[in-house]
Chains A and B, each alone.
Chain A
C-alpha cells in the first residue's frame, strides 16, 4: 500500500526518450562502484607518484592517511545525507554523534582501561540509546525548529567536552588514544595501510546500509516525508516514528565513523564537536548533490581533500609570494570552501551529480 501511494513523480524527458537496455544499464550501474572500490582497495600497493596532488607516493603513510581521512569523511557525509537528502531532516547536530563514537571508545579504553571489544560494545549501546532519546525530543518539532534543537543539543555536547568533566575529555587539548589500546595491526605508521582499509570498509558498509535502507519500505516513507510530510500523515503512517528511525540509523552510522576516525588520527579533538564540523557535512552533501549517496561520497572526498591540501597550499612558496590581499584569504581553507559552496548553490543547485546527469543528457 505504501509503494503505490508514495512513489509517483512527474514524467520527465528521460522517461519518454529511448534509452539503452535496462538490464545492461543495471549491470553498468553495479559494475562501476565495484570497479572503483576494487581500485581503491589496491591503492596501498601502488607506488605511483603524484607530486602536486598528494604529499608523497601513493602508498607512503602520509598519502594513505590523507586518503583514509577522505574515505571516512565520505562515509560520514553519506550518513548526513541519509538525514538531509533522503528524509529532509536538516540536522545541525550531527557532530554530536561522531564525537560520541570517538570519545566513548577513547575514554573507555584510555581512562577506564576497558578492552577494545568492551569499549566498542559500549559505543554501540551508547550510539543507539543517545540518538533515540535526543531524537525523540528533537523530532517533536519540524523544519527549522528541528535544526535549531539539534544544534542546541550538539552545542551542549561541545561545551561538556570543552569543560573537561572529571578530567575525562581533555578539554581543549583533546584526548590521545593510548597506543597500546589498538591491536598491533592497526597501530604504528607502518600499518597505515590497514587503517586505510578500515576506512574503506567503513565507507562500503555505510553505502551498503544506506543503499539497502532507502530501498526498503521505511526508505520509501522517508522519501515521501521529504517530499510532503502532511501527505504521509494523511495516509495514516506515523511519520514521527519513521523520522526517528532515520535519525537513529544515521546517527548510529555516524557514531561508527567517529570510532574509525579515532583510530585513524589516534585521538579525539574537541574540533569534532563543534557546529562548524556539522556544517562541513552540509557543505559536502550539497557540493556532491543531495539525496544521492554517491553525491555525498564524492562531496565528502572533495571537501576533505581540498580542506587538507588548501591548508598545505596556504603555507607553500607559491602562495607566500602573493600579495597579502590574496595570500591571507587563500591560506584559510574555509574561506575558499565557503565561497566555492556559495557558487555551487547558485550555479549548480543539484551539486556535482547533477553535472554528470546534465552532461549525459547533452
Chain B
C-alpha cells in the first residue's frame, strides 16, 4: 500500500513536470503549427537561471526560481520575435529554426557551464519527507504537483476569461478564420511563446529540484516525453495535455517499479501506439 501511494505521488510529480512542458508546446503547436524544439532550451535556461542566481547572486530558492522563469520567458519572447516571426507562414522552416536553436543552445550551455551535472540548490523543506498513509513521500513531489495545478488553473483562467485567451482559443481552432476577421494573431503568437517559455522554465527549475542537479542534456529527454504527452493528449488542448501528462507519469512510474528499468519508457510508447491506433487525434482531439 505504501509503495502504491509513493509511486502514485511520484508519478503525479513526474506528470506535473511533463504537463508544465507540454502545456506550452501544445498551445504553440495548436496556434502557430510550430513543433517547438527550442522548448527544451527554454527549460534549460530556466534551470540554469535558477542555479546561477542562487550560486552567484546568493538568491533564496523562490527568488531564484522567479529569476529563472523570467530568464526563460525573455528567451522565449526573443526567439519568437527575432527568429520565428520573420518566417511567418513558412511552418517547416520555423520548425527547422527551432531545431537549429536547440542544437546550438544546448551546445552553448555546455560550453558555458560544462557538460557535467551541477548540484541544484534545493531548499531544506523540499528535501524532507511527509508520511501519508504509511508512505514516506519527499516534499518536492507536492511542490511539483502544486505548481502544475496552479499553472493549469492560471492557463485555463487566461484562456476562458481574457480577451487574448479568446483569440488564442479561436486561433487554435482556425487560424485562417481569425486572421480573416482582422484580428492580429501575431500578438497572440508572442503571448503564447511567453506563456510556454515561462511554464517550461518553471519546469526546468522544478526538474532541478526533482533530480537534484542540472545538466545541459536534461531538457532533451524531458522534451521527448512532453512531445509524447502532447500527442496522446491531442494537439492544442491544454486539458488533454494535463490528463495525458498524469497518465504518462503514472504509467511510467508504476511499470518501471514493478517491471525492469527501461520498461517504464517503453510502456509509455506502447500507450502512445494504443492511443494512436484507437484515437488518431489524441484523447481530446478531433480526428485529423
Q: In the complex the two chains form, is B96's CB within 8 Å of A286's CB?
A: yes
Evaluate whether A334 and B262 lie within 8 angstroms (CB atoms) in the complex, with A148-B231, A328-B112 already known.
Answer: no
| Chain A interface mostly | helix
Q: Return B263 CB to nearest CB of chain A, in Å.
A: 9
* B228 proximity list for chain A (CB < 8 A): 148, 152
Q: In the complex the two chains form, is A165's CB within 8 Å of B262's CB?
A: yes
* A155 proximity list for chain B (CB < 8 A): 221, 224, 265, 269
Evaluate whether A334 and B288 lie within 8 angstroms (CB atoms) in the complex, with A144-B35, A145-B231, A156-B265 already known.
Answer: no
* B231 proximity list for chain A (CB < 8 A): 141, 145, 148-149, 152
Q: Return A84 CB to nearest CB of chain B, in Å.
A: 10
Which chain B residues numbered 11 to 45 have a C-beta less than 8 Å away from chain A?
29, 33, 35, 37
Q: In the complex the two chains form, is B224's CB within 8 Å of A349's CB?
A: no
Evaluate whether A282 and B96 lie within 8 angstroms (CB atoms) in the complex, with A163-B261, A339-B104 already known.
Answer: yes
Q: In the complex the two chains form, is A346's CB within 8 Å of B103's CB?
A: no
30 A–B contacts, CB within 8 A, in A order: A141-B280, A142-B288, A143-B288, A145-B231, A145-B235, A145-B276, A145-B280, A148-B228, A148-B231, A152-B228, A156-B265, A160-B266, A275-B220, A282-B99, A283-B99, A283-B103, A329-B107, A329-B111, A331-B111, A334-B107, A337-B104, A338-B100, A338-B104, A338-B105, A339-B104, A341-B103, A342-B83, A342-B101, A346-B86, A346-B97
Chain B 83-100, CB-CB to A under 8 Å as 1, else 0, gives 100110010110111011
Which chain B residues numbered 257 to 279 have a C-beta less than 8 Å away from chain A?
260-262, 265-266, 268-269, 272-273, 276-277
Which chain A residues numbered 332 to 348 have a C-beta less than 8 Å away from chain B?
332-335, 337-339, 341-342, 345-346
Q: In the complex the two chains form, is B100's CB within 8 Å of A137's CB?
A: no
Q: In the complex the two chains form, is B104's CB within 8 Å of A342's CB?
A: yes
* B87 proximity list for chain A (CB < 8 A): 345-346
Q: Return A133 CB to nearest CB of chain B, in Å.
A: 10
Q: Return B284 CB to nearest CB of chain A, in Å.
A: 14
Give the distance in Å from the alpha carbon of A312 to the alpha carbon of B16 in the complex.
42
**How many B residues have CB within 8 A of the partner chain?**
47
Residue of A nearest to B110 (CB): A332
A313 contacts the other chain (Cβ, under 8 Å)? no
Q: In the complex the two chains form, is B288's CB within 8 Å of A145's CB?
A: yes
A151 contacts the other chain (Cβ, under 8 Å)? yes
Most buried by A among B110, B227, B260, B277: B227
Q: In the complex the two chains form, is B262's CB within 8 Å of A160's CB?
A: yes
Most buried by A among B97, B99, B261: B99
Give the distance in Å from the alpha carbon of A90 to the alpha carbon of B227 in the complex.
15
* B220 proximity list for chain A (CB < 8 A): 275-276
B106 contacts the other chain (Cβ, under 8 Å)? yes
B108 contacts the other chain (Cβ, under 8 Å)? yes
A279 contacts the other chain (Cβ, under 8 Å)? yes
Residue of A nearest to B266 (CB): A156
B-binding residues in A (CB < 8 A): 90, 137, 140-145, 147-149, 151-153, 155-156, 159-160, 162-163, 165, 275-276, 279, 282-283, 286, 328-329, 331-335, 337-339, 341-342, 345-346, 349
Evaluate whether A149 and B112 lie within 8 angstroms (CB atoms) in the complex, with A279-B103, A337-B103 already known.
Answer: no
Give the distance in Å from the alpha carbon of A276 to the alpha carbon of B262 in the complex.
20
Give the distance in Å from the alpha carbon of A302 to the alpha carbon of B15 in the complex.
41
Q: In the complex the two chains form, is B97's CB within 8 Å of A152's CB?
A: no
Residue of B nearest to A331 (CB): B111
B245 contacts the other chain (Cβ, under 8 Å)? no
Q: Return A355 CB to nearest CB of chain B, in Å.
A: 17
| Besides A152-B268, A156-B266, 9 new A-B residue pairs in contact (Cβ under 8 A), listed by A number | A141-B280, A152-B272, A159-B265, A282-B99, A283-B100, A335-B103, A338-B105, A338-B107, A346-B97
Q: In the complex the two chains form, is B276's CB within 8 Å of A345's CB?
A: no
Give the distance in Å from the alpha carbon of A144 to the alpha carbon of B90 in the complex.
14
Give the distance in Å from the alpha carbon of A145 to the alpha carbon of B228 in the complex.
9
Nearest 5 CB-CB pairs, A to B?
A338-B104, A163-B262, A335-B107, A338-B103, A334-B107
Contact of A151 among B83, B100, B107, B224 (CB under 8 A): B224
